[in-house]
Structure formats: C-alpha cells, structure tokens
Amino acid sequence: MEFSEIDRTVISRLSGDLPSGMTPFAEVAADVGLDENELLRRIERYGKENVLRRFAAIVAHRSAGFVANALVAWCVPEDRVVEAAETMSAFDEVSHCYERLSYPRWPYNIYTMIHGRDRDQCIDAAKEMSARTGVRDYRLLFTVREFKKKSMRYFHEVTDNTYEDGE
C-alpha cells in the first residue's frame, strides 16, 4: 500500500496513545486535520488492507498488582513450533509469544512474556505451559528493573512537535 502524507500522519498519531476523553477519534481527527468520519473511513481501510491490526487498551499491570514478569525462553522442536506456540499463547498470563532464531549455544526459539502477581505465579504458569506442550527445556528470565516501556511509533518523522516525545 502506498501511504500519502496524511496517511503517514494518521498512522503516526494512532500509534501513540489515544486521548482519554469521551470522543477520542474526534480529537485525533482534529489533531491531524480531518473530520471524524474521514478518519474513521481511513481506519476502516487500514484494517481491510491489514495495515492496522487492532486497537488495544493496555492496563498498567504493575498498578493492577501484577508485579512479576518473566521472559521464558523455550527450546521447541521445529516440527512442533506452531502447535506449542498456539498452546502457550492461549494462557491468560502470556502477553507476548514470539519465534526467534536459535543458535548452537542458545537453542531457544520460542519466547513468551508471562505476567503474574508474584514470581511463584510466573513459575507455576511456565510449569503448566510445559506440562501442556511437553516442552521441558526452558529458562525463566525475570524482570529486575524496567528502563523503558512505550508503544511503538510509526512515521514519527512526519508529525509536528506535539507528538515528538510520544506523549
């Protein structure tokens, strides 16, 4: 899909946080110089063309009491990657599930991010995932400190300074 300058501006603005008021799309439309109906038509088109996959509300998990996080690296046989990843992805505790390349000294190829109220909840979720998939070789890497966390911004260079720092 070719992106016009207004498409780039809209996508850039949508990739940040939406306004928290009662009419977030009207506010975004005003920000980018469109009327709300035109913005909504563009959003619908982006969805149909698989440019925009979803809108999501993101809970501040630490504020909600989920203070433990573990990135789990799994060594899954190649012929079982899709099956195991689908099973792992179905767990409520899992927010992300990715396949990555493995290496001779690091054979792990599937990664899940588990969130829990404490370390034990993360460990228990990983044990249950292991039992359901039959994947026994895995490593839990617990978060010690978070240095940065924000939504990805796209076409950031075409926006004005209002959105420069992503806020």
Against a cut of 0.85, is the pTM above it?
no
Residue 134 and residue 110: Cα distance in Å, rounded?
14
Residue 13 and residue 162: Cα distance in Å, rounded?
10
pLDDT in tens, 88-127: 999 999 999 999 999 999 999 999 999 999 999 999 999 9
Domains in the chain, CATH or no CATH each: 5-57 (1.10.10), 68-142 (3.30.70.3460)
- pLDDT score, position 61: 64
pLDDT in tens, 108-117: 999 999 999 9
pLDDT in tens, 6-31: 999 999 898 878 888 899 999 999 99
Q: Using the CB atoms, write b or e for 16-32: b if 16+ within 10 Å.
A: beeeeeeeebbbbbebb
Tell me which residue of 71, 67, 62 sits closest to 142, measured CA to CA.
71
